[in-house]
C-alpha cells in the first residue's frame, strides 16, 4: 500500500511514530504562543485598580496661601511700655486720690488745693485708660491707632521735658527722675510707631 511521498507538502500529515516528537510541517514557520494575562507575566495596574489614588491637593481660589505677619519687636516693646505706663498712671491716680481725701478731712481751707489734686488724679486715671486702650488695639488696629499713639507719645515727651526742667530748677531729684523715665518711654513708643508702619498697613485675611 502506498502512503504517498513523505516530502510532498500537499500530502496528508504524517503521523508521528511512538516516542518521536511531532514534526513541523514544511513551509509553515512556527511562532511562540502569546502569553495570556495572569500566566507568568504581571500586568500593569489599570487606573483605579491595584493602588488607591492619592486625594487631590487642595488649592486656593487663585491666590497662594500666605502666613500671617508677625508683630515686629519694636511694636511689641511699645505695647509693653504702654501697659507699664498705664500701671504707673493708675498708681499715681490712687496716690493723688488718697491725698485729696486726707486734705479734705484735715482742713476745710484747702478746698482749692484738693480740687487741683483731684483733677490731677482724674487726669492720671484717664491717661491710664488711654494707655491700656492703645496697647490693646495695637494688635489689630490700623493707621488711626498708629497716629493716635504717635500724638500721645509726642505729648508724653513734651511733658517729660517740662518735668525735667522743673526738677532741675527746683533741685527736685524725684521730678527729674520721673521726667527722664517718662521721656524714655515716650521716645521708645514714638520710634516704634514711626518704624512700624508696615504692621498697621498689613493686609487682613
pLDDT in tens, the chain (205 residues): 455 555 655 555 555 555 555 555 555 555 555 555 555 555 555 555 555 565 555 554 555 556 677 888 999 999 999 999 999 999 999 998 888 888 777 665 666 777 888 898 999 999 999 999 999 999 887 889 999 999 999 999 998 898 888 766 665 566 678 788 889 999 999 999 999 888 888 887 6
pTM for this model (two decimals): 0.63
Q: What is the pLDDT of residue 42?
A: 55
Total residues found in the chain within this entry: 205
CB-based burial, 123-152: b 16+ in 10 Å, e otherwise? ebbebbebbbebbebbeebeeebbebbeeb
Amino acid at each position: 500500500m502506498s502512503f504517498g511521498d513523505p516530502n510532498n507538502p500537499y500530502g496528508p500529515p504524517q503521523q508521528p511514530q511512538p516516542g518521536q516528537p511531532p514534526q513541523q510541517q514544511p513551509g509553515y514557520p512556527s511562532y511562540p504562543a502569546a502569553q495570556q494575562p495572569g500566566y507568568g507575566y504581571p500586568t500593569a495596574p489599570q487606573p483605579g485598580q491595584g493602588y488607591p489614588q492619592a486625594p487631590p491637593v487642595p488649592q486656593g481660589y487663585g491666590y497662594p496661601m500666605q502666613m500671617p505677619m508677625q508683630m515686629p519687636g519694636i511694636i511689641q516693646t511699645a505695647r509693653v511700655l504702654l501697659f507699664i505706663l498705664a500701671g504707673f498712671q493708675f498708681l499715681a491716680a490712687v496716690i493723688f486720690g488718697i491725698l485729696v481725701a486726707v486734705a479734705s478731712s484735715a482742713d476745710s481751707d484747702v478746698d482749692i488745693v484738693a480740687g487741683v489734686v483731684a483733677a490731677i488724679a482724674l487726669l492720671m486715671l484717664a491717661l491710664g485708660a488711654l494707655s491700656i486702650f492703645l496697647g490693646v488695639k495695637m494688635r489689630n488696629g490700623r493707621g488711626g491707632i498708629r497716629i493716635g499713639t504717635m500724638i500721645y507719645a509726642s505729648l508724653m515727651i513734651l511733658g517729660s521735658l517740662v518735668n525735667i526742667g522743673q526738677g532741675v530748677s527746683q533741685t527736685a531729684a524725684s521730678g527729674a527722675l520721673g521726667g527722664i523715665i517718662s521721656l524714655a518711654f515716650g521716645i521708645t513708643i514714638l520710634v516704634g510707631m514711626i518704624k512700624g508702619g508696615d504692621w498697621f498697613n498689613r493686609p487682613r485675611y
